[in-house]
Amino acid sequence: MTMNPKKLYPRTGDRETIYLAAAITDPAISVGDFTIYNDFVHDPRDFETNNVLYHYAVNRDRLQIGKFCSIACGAKFLFNSANHSLSSLSTYPFPIFYEEWGLEKRDVTKAWDNKGDITIGNDVWIGYEAIILAGVTIGDGAVIGARSVVTKDVAPYTIVAGAPARPVRKRFSEETIRKLLKIRWWDWPQERISRCLEAIQTGQIDRLTASPQ
């Protein structure tokens, strides 16, 4: 059995949780298989409108989300146009109002600082109403606490929380993290993952490393 790439709802009768990839239309947003988004306030199918903010084509910035991520209700991804330039003597976004000030339309992006893309690894859990800012990379297996504001990169398998988010602890030992990053179980065929679900759910890393292909 393999995943239907067009399947939207993972559970019968549940219209609050979706396979996010099936709802994405913007080519600047990519989402891996089995990543879910839950929204009990708005229609989760409106993720691009309600959760990916200040994401304008003029910046050419991207949102990349890996496989098997869990994104809670209200999580937001704030892109570069939310910034105001700090290299200017004024934070007022003059270039946006180019007609008013006789500026060139092509220079509109000078109104803000461009910090880059947002990249979310695999098997990442993003908590309720967390905010991820432009330029941030979140490593595989990380956990983002509810209502955290993530302003800096998060290392793999690290739990962060707060505003701004700071490391709380590692989820596993360094040896276990090294093994998980090496085997990358999320890239396995669905059938192999199914065979190893017990080992995954009970934390038996040695069984995963010994799993036949």
Confidence category of residue 211, pLDDT binned at 50, 70, 90: confident
For residue 5, the model assigns a pLDDT of 56
Cα→Cα distances 183→177, 189, 205, 210, Å: 10, 13, 10, 10
Catalytic residues: 84
DSSP SS3 for 136: coil
Q: pLDDT tens digit string along 117-166?
A: 999 999 999 999 999 999 999 999 999 999 999 999 999 999 999 999 99
The CATH classification number of 17-171 equals 2.160.10.10
Mean pLDDT over each residue of the chain, to the nearest integer: 96
Confidence category of residue 17, pLDDT binned at 50, 70, 90: very high
The position carrying tokens 């905010």 is 131
* Residues 6+ positions from 80 with CB-CB distance below 8 Å: 54, 59, 61, 112, 113, 114, 115, 116, 134, 135
- In angstroms, rounded to a whole number, what is the distance separating the alpha carbons of residues 201 and 203? 6
- In angstroms, rounded to a whole number, what is the distance separating the alpha carbons of residues 120 and 51? 14
Boundaries of every domain in the chain: 17-171, 173-213
Confidence category of residue 188, pLDDT binned at 50, 70, 90: very high
Confidence category of residue 4, pLDDT binned at 50, 70, 90: low
